[in-house]
Each structure stands twice: as structure tokens, then as C-alpha cells.
Amino acid sequence: MFSYGNRKMEIKENIMFIKFSPCKSNIDTILRVKDENTIIINGEEYEFDTTSVIWPDIRSQTSGAILEAKREPDGLMYITMIRKYLSSCVEWDTGTYWSIEPTLEVVEPTPDIPPEENTDPIIEEPIVEIPPAIPPEEPILPPEEGII
């Protein structure tokens, strides 16, 4: 519970509403909601206050990743963000807010074998340097009768 003016409200946990502003790009945005107050966009974590959002320069301070953020009196968080995509945005570009729950962080288990007991050989690949292209001594010209 928290107070908003003279009213007491309960925060609905583990939910955030996100609206996407699509941007065709050479990358896909990687989005993860950590909790009801924290979003991770392309590895950059943005944490919001639990009772309000006072961030007038959010667009410039997030390098354009977040366009707008607000917290409603009921405690729910609403974010409008740029979502870069490679192929198509038809499935998710609805112009409305999506209800997004926190994404569990997957932690890869470490092997039970201590490093000194691991007998797998370490294979190091040599670095291959590619020499620069050498232009021909004489230019290659098309035949006088043209290309057929």
C-alpha cells in the first residue's frame, strides 16, 4: 500500500504495461521486465520509483529508448518505448498497451567438474589474417564486340 494524495492504494505486483513505437532497424530490441518497477532494454536497466514517475527528460536520458513513463494512481506502470525490429512488427504493433509480467532470468548451471579435473582439451583456433586485395597490374576491359 502507498498513499497518493489522501487516498491509499495497493500496487498490483509483477505487472507492467508497455506500448511499443516500432522502428525498422538492423537489430531487434531485447526487452526484459525485471519487476513491476524495473525494465531492461538492450541490457540497460531502468528503475522507476514505486509511487510515481517524475522523469521529465526520460527520452533524452534513455537515449530515446523510453519515450514516456507514468504511474497511475492505482500503482500500475505504463511505458511507451521504441522497439527496433528486423523483419515485421505486425504481431505486436497494435497501438495499445501490452500487459507484461517479469521475465525470469535464466542462469546457466555451472558444470560439477572442477576445472583441474576437466580433461577436455582446450582448442585454440589461430587468428587468420586476410591480406588486402591486390589490384591487377592492367585494368580488365570488356571485349571490343561487347558482352554477349
Distance CA 86, CA 26 (A): 6
**Model confidence, pTM:** 0.59
Please list, in sequence order, all residues whose beta carbon lies within 8 angstroms of the beta carbon of residue 28, skipping any fewer than 6 positions away: 84, 85, 86
CA 87 to chain centre: 16
Collect all residues with Cβ–Cβ distance below 8 Å to 76 and sequence separation of at least 6: 11, 12, 15, 16, 17
Q: How is residue 30 written as a grid cell? A: 531485447
- pLDDT tens, position by position, for the chain (148 residues)? 333 333 333 434 557 899 999 999 999 999 888 888 899 999 999 999 888 887 888 999 999 999 999 988 888 889 999 999 998 888 888 889 988 888 655 545 555 555 555 566 665 555 555 555 555 566 556 667 765 5
Q: Where are the domains of the chain?
A: 14-100
